[in-house]
Amino acid sequence: MTKASTWTGWGGTPKSIGYAAPFASDADARAVLTGAGGRGVIGRGLGRSYGDAAQNAGGSIAESTPDETIVDWDPDRGSVSVHAGITIDQLLRWGLPRGYFVPVIPGTRHVTIGGAIAADIHGKNHHRDGTFGRHVESMVLCTPSATQRLTPSMPLFGATTGGMGLTGLITEATIRLHPVESAYVAVDTERAPNLDALLTSMTDNDHRYRYSVAWVDLLASGRSLGRGVLTSGDHAARDALSPQQRRQPLHFAPSVRVAVPPLPVSVLVPIAIAAFNEFWYRKAPAHRQGEVQSITEFFHPLDQLAGWNHLYGRRGFLQYQFVVPHNETACLEKIVEQLADTGAPSFLAVLKRFGAANDAPLSFPIGGWTLTVDVPALPALAPVLRRLDHVVANAGGRVYLAKDSRLDPAVLPVMYPRLAEWRTLRNEADPYGIMTSDLDRRLNLSGRHGTP
């Protein structure tokens, strides 16, 4: 067994000690599963889950080895087969020069394809294109009992898509890419004075755009409660580019501008965040159309700041993401108001509008409003977020497990009403409970650990 190491998610909390078990091939995955001890094993990509989904205290952490090799490419169908350890960043660097874009990407490029499937990631285009799983044509899954290629018609495919790595180790996937004319986005920007104006604009206009997202100022209050900046767009046509951009319309070579070293304490204090939020809101135009932005500028601005999670210091931070149905705008406003009342410093609060849910039992998105908030890991916020768990659940909503590190386990079956169905499929694939994680134990996600 390898030397014990301390593991954590992107938020830096909570921490646990486990043993690395790298894998690249089906044979490697089979060896990891066969050699798992009593504390089991969980897969891990680049560790960008914010909480404890890819940790396994006292057990094995099966790290997916990076592999840029393209297994197969069908240009007629736009389908690519890749190893699970390839990242979205690597796939973009391969695909964009050929005129193809990854169909669903989150707020960072640094996510493996295996992780994207396990968390069934979503992006700014969910209202148009759904989750990542919708674009997966097949995957190879190594369960403790078998290695098999899954297709969307198979129940285990749905259980794995959004199954938080608890059905087995994904080793390969075939994905449909999206054709594009350029590596740029044509963006419309609008400043909204409050939450009502923001929701109205998104409801009225989202259908016009492939991508839509709003930054929300969670320190604003009163008549400015929920004020924000809405950016919407689509892949830019070649003729929308400047003459210089048209010389290399599919050029994509993002770089890191600044690297943040580990810091002992957070620099994101309330007064600094308040100043930033005021600046960010005021600098946005009241209305601007057709601005051409790079892929990085529109989709992944924080990727230019390597180690940005260090800004929160050793204590770390939480990312709280929830969704409530479309008709629960009053609930959404209530939550925004309660978060604003805490005065918690948050410079990153993002609002999106989801389309219809897919058929995967644990997939997070449902038709409605999703708000993502980064807040420091302060003890005083724990009871606030626990109350909000129940507000969300009572409204028919749910919290995203890939971001979670502190959900009240009592509301899990309410938030995910198909949990029992998922448990049956998961336990058929892994009858001895070899696949497990800190997230699984904390929430008793698999139903094998008793009431937390």
pLDDT 10s digits, 66-108: 888 899 999 999 999 999 999 999 999 999 999 999 999 999 9
* 382 lies in the same domain as 425: no
Q: What is the CATH number of the domain that holds 79?
A: 3.30.465.10
CB atoms within 10 A of CB 205: 14
Let me know whether 260 and 115 are in one domain.
Answer: no
Q: What's the whole-model pTM score?
A: 0.96
pLDDT tier at 2 (50, 70, 90 boundaries)? confident
Residue 344 shares a structural domain with residue 393: yes
153 and 47 together in one domain: no
Statement to judge: residues 154 and 240 lie in one domain: no
* 423 and 348 housed in the same domain: no
**pLDDT value at residue 346:** 85
- The arithmetic mean of pLDDT across residues 352-372, rounded, is 97
pLDDT at 244: 96
In a domain? residue 328: yes
Taking the C-alpha atoms of residue 359 and residue 421, their distance in angstroms, rounded to an integer, is: 12
How high is the pLDDT of residue 452?
46
Rounded Cα gap, residues 139 and 161, in angstroms: 10
In a domain, 451, yes or no: no
Residue written as token pair 């097949």? 138
Please, are residues 373 and 218 in contact by the beta-carbon 8 Å criterion? yes
Does residue 84 form part of some domain?
yes
Write out the residue range of the structural domain in which residue 173 sits. Answer: 70-179
Rounded CA-CA distance 374/12 in Å is 12
138 and 205 both lie in a single domain: no
Shared-domain flag, residues 306 and 383: yes
Domain count, the chain: 3
Q: What are the two backbone dihedrals, phi and then psi, of residue 430, each rounded to the nearest 5 degrees?
A: -140, 70
The CA distances from residue 370 to 10, 178, 400, 411, in Å, are 20, 24, 10, 18
Looking at residue 74, its amino acid is: D
Q: How far apart are the first and last CA of the chain?
A: 29
Mean pLDDT of 127-149: 97
Are 16 and 129 within one domain?
no
In a domain? residue 449? no
- Specify the pLDDT at position 450: 74
Same domain, 52 and 116: no
Among 164, 179, 194, the domain boundary falls at: 179
120 assigned to some structural domain: yes
Q: Could you tell me which residues come within 8 angstroms of residue 426 by beta carbon, excluding any fewer than 6 positions away?
A: 159, 163, 166, 167, 435, 446
Q: Give the rounded percent of residues in the chain with a pLDDT score beyond 90.
A: 92
